[in-house]
Amino acid sequence: MNPRARRIATTLAGLTAAGLAAGSLDGAAAGATAPSDVVAVDVTTSAEQAIRFWTPDRAGPATGTKKSKQAGLPDTVGRVFFTLPRTDPRDPRNWRSCSATSVRSKHRNLVATAAHCVYDTRRNAFYDNWVFIPSYRDGKAPYGIYAAKTFNAHADFVVNEDYDYDYAFVNVHNGITASWKNAGRLGDKVGGQGITWNRSARLNVLSFGYPAGGRTMKRCTGTTRPMPEAKRYNAQQHVGLACAFTAGADGGPLLADYRSASRTGHLVGVNSVAWDTDGDGRYERISSPYFNGETYKIYKAAANRWTGVMP
């Protein structure tokens, strides 16, 4: 029986080849000119417009400021809200959400998520009104709301819709509090996860996200393994773990080397495709593109990008 797989978007064989050295970073990547397969596009909606759009009656985000600690869960992980491009943003049918995490970068302004959480392959355009709310819980934004400035994705996803490249890095502006005050840089508020690539396809990881309505963060723990081909998504190099995440968790991080005391680790993947491997109609595994040198190229270009002062 062929496994059934689907992308988890929401409405409101060893992969490490011989000779490839594993890499990891706990700080910013060294500066360099971005290679041609890095697609870097500035948002079309202003930061102020995006933040003002997501009022409490639309997404329930961000009116509260009380910090609600989520025991053992990282403050770097949060919820993403956006609207479909070239549509009426006032229509709730055009509202979407995903999950994401802050990652370390030179300017402490970087978010990692799935590429399908920033780019609409049906309309061939990046999403509008894109904001990230770290440590979102029950309608609260304890560390502010961070609007996107620049989307960074791989050309093989943007052009070819290849889910082996379903990852993206988003440069965000300084955050804004509920009282419309400057919350500062994302990394200064919540820190950032490290990133690693060319690791074993079998790793002990924790996956985080906001499934099933997204009011609170959830996690899965397990060991990744290579997944079979998902022809619908042109995906041949995914790794997955047992996890029953539902819509909304896509884009959330897979973290290796996780330390509970600091709630930090190394990003080795992002939630991309949900799998029903036994055909019972329920999705019981989640998979991510395998992070390799191609992933690092996109990260490296984004990690050195400055967002400037929010207009």
The structural domains of the chain, with segments of one domain joined by +, span 4-21+195-292, 27-192+294-303
Domains 4-21+195-292 and 27-192+294-303 share a fold: yes
**Alpha carbons 70 and 60: distance in angstroms, whole number:** 18
Token pair recorded at residue 123: 């309309």
Is pLDDT above 90 for 16?
Answer: no
The per-residue pLDDT for 68 is 46
For residue 65, how many other CB atoms are within 10 A of its CB? 14
Is residue 233 within 8 Å of 116, Cβ to Cβ?
no
Indicate the pLDDT class of residue 14, thresholds 50, 70 and 90. very low
Q: What is the C-alpha separation between 308 and 299, in angstroms, rounded?
A: 19
- Separation between Cα atoms, residue 127 and residue 112, nearest integer Å: 15
| pLDDT for the residue 5 | 55
pTM: 0.88
CATH code at 27-192+294-303:
2.40.10.10
Distance CA 243, CA 219 (A): 9
User: Tell me, which fold does domain 4-21+195-292 have in CATH?
Assistant: Thrombin, subunit H (2.40.10)
Give whole-number Cα distances, 209 to 91, 187, 261, in Å: 25, 19, 20
Token pair for 23: 């890499």
Q: Is the pLDDT of residue 8 over 50?
A: no
Counting every residue, how long is the chain? 311
pLDDT of 62 over the 70 cut: no
